[in-house]
Structure 1
């Protein structure tokens, strides 16, 4: 039996005035989830203009476990606290299964309370953000 070495975990960041994009590659698990959480919190609390969106790009994610899911829930909580919407882009099958089984996809991608239109409960932000394809939120 051949065992493959674990995929190297890396994070890449793109930041414009209103949006933080984090590219997550490799395995998001017990050993790496704190790295993602701490990096996103650092950007959310930096002395800068408030973020409107936090985009996590999972196109190179190879694995996620319950610790990784916990980190996503904490990132959602922290992003919502500052009024930023969380987007989970380019979700591979392994992440999609985890989100569906645990039934947290809608929770993680719901707009923060401050961005809802009080009249009808719909997001007050533009729904068509130009991202298409499977896994775009």
Structure 2
């Protein structure tokens, strides 16, 4: 689906999961919008305390170039440093191909975030953190 120039490249989506921020990438993620997308995603994270998971919905992403891939990698690093899980959801074939060619598929998609959270992560999410068992 082609996007119009007025379409925001990053949109906040409602989440059905607690402690999860869901964002949608729309249109092209290239050198023209990369800085804006990175800034908007960081701002969205700053405004939400308690986020434990960042999910980027890519079903409406038309194209990603090397600059766009760089943004995804930076968001993944930012999330990791903040103790937040990161996952790209529904990457289209063109993005899948880029991720496989660059060896970043498992690092950026849910393949790296699969599985249940550890006991420590579960305690943090439920607010039952403490020392000892």
Question: TM-score scaled to structure 2, two decimals?
Answer: 0.72
Superposed CA offset, 1:50-103 (max 9, x none): 211111001111111000000000000111111111111111011000000000
Query: Counterpart in 1 of 2:44?
Result: 43
CA distance in structure 2 between the partners assigned to 1:116 and 1:103 by the alignment: 26
Q: Flag the 1:104–1:36 CA change in 2: closer, same or farther, 3 A.
A: same
Tell me whether 1:18 sits opposite 2:19 in the alignment.
Answer: yes
Count of matched residue pairs: 112
**Structure 2 unaligned blocks of 5 or more:** 123-133
Q: Contact 1:12–1:24 at 8 Å: present in 2 too?
A: yes
Superposed CA offset, 1:36-60 (max 9, x none): 11111112223x4221111100111
CA distance in structure 2 between the partners assigned to 1:76 and 1:35 by the alignment: 16
Q: Flag the 1:79–1:91 CA change in 2: closer, same or farther, 3 A.
A: same
Moved more, 59-68 or 6-15: 6-15
**Structure 1 unaligned blocks of 5 or more:** 119-123, 126-137
Matches within 5 A, 1:28-107: 28-46=29-47, 48-107=48-107
Shift of 1:31: 0.5
CA distance in structure 1 between the partners assigned to 2:119 and 2:94 by the alignment: 33
Q: Contact 2:30–2:68 at 8 Å: present in 1 too?
A: yes
CA distance in structure 2 between the partners assigned to 1:69 and 1:7 by the alignment: 22
Q: CA RMSD in A?
A: 2.5
Question: TM-score scaled to structure 1, two decimals?
Answer: 0.70
Shift of 1:7: 5.8
